[in-house]
Amino acid sequence: MTQYDTIGKQYTDVFDSLPYRDMEVVNVYAALESILRPDLNVIEFACGAGFYTDKLLLWGASSVTGIDISKRMIELACLRLVPTPYNNLARFVVADGTAPRSHSAGGEMEAYDIAFAAWFLNYSATAAELTAMFTSVAINLKSTGVFIGVVPHPTENLEARAEACATAPLNRLYPRNEYTGELDSGDGWGLRVYLDDQGTNFMTYHLRPSVYKSAARAAGLKGRLEWRREILLDDEMWRMKLRLSEEEWTIKKKNPHLGILMIWKN
């Protein structure tokens, strides 16, 4: 049983309702809009309850295959898509995205134009686990395909990152990052993410961008690699929605929550 089988709908209800989630969607769409076309087939790793599956189809994907290791999350994803006009364009599979194999309906390799993963790679605690995830991506991507991933903000200086996240205002904003210490491998830090005052949380890992790059290359993703910095909706409404002073808003902008990683297969 995964941690998401346990927190399931609670996680979905809390995470999807966070004000920050809207800004995350803006960042994902900005990365996808130039490459997503109606004739493209997408595989989504760690699809969860189908939040982005819904968005990908709304934005024009021809089809989306969503995979997640949590049976409960897949059940919620199926329910989310039922009332939509593109329910028949989504296919969901309970599977371990860290196990490198084809996830196409017929078992074909390299079947997808785009591989998308929001908050998937950050569950790798080691470079070897990250390489396995990227290998799974590479096996499923066409030679012309591209990977887009939502991950923690890329920085080599994770000690400074941990200190910043433990200081106001970042230590009271949700999702709230609590760094638990450097990993024995030196590849990154443990990272527990809290979603609300009730303590809804899950354990992840923040590996350095240099580790991401070497793991991707080792897995066969050899094309252009691009890190996109987080975009904040920079207006008074959003500052007030997060209940931040101008000074705190400046600190927030200097310490992004996420980064978007784009890697072309060739």
pTM of the model: 0.94
Residue 119 banded pLDDT, cuts 50, 70, 90:
very high
d(CA 66, CA 8): 16
Quick one: pLDDT at residue 1? 43
Radius of gyration from C-alpha coordinates of the chain: 18
**Is 136 contained in some domain?**
yes
Assigned domain for 166 exists: no
Beta strands, E only, 69-108: 90-94
- Domain count for the chain: 1
Q: Which of 207, 258, 177, 200 is nearest to 3 (CA)?
A: 200
| 161 belongs to a structural domain | no
Domain contains 147: yes
The whole-number average pLDDT for the span 107-132 is 97
Q: Which of 29, 30, 41, 258 is nearest to 146 (CA)?
A: 41
Q: Is residue 30 part of a domain?
A: yes
CATH of the domain at 63: 3.40.50.150
| CA proximity to 261, closest of 45, 53, 39 | 45
Q: Is residue 150 part of a domain?
A: yes
Strand partners, 2: none
Mean pLDDT score across all residues of the chain: 93
Query: What is the mean pLDDT of the segment spanning 254-264?
Result: 97
C-alpha–C-alpha distance, residues 233 and 255, integer Å = 14
Determine how many CB atoms are found less than 10 A away from the CB of residue 208. Answer: 18
38 with 62: CB under 8 angstroms? yes
Residue 140 lies in a domain: yes
Q: What is the pLDDT of residue 169?
A: 93
Residue 10, pLDDT above cutoff 90? no
Domain interval for residue 146 = 3-154+208-240+256-264
Per-residue model confidence as pLDDT tens digits over 25-51:
999 999 999 899 889 999 999 999 999
**Domain-embedded: residue 234:** yes
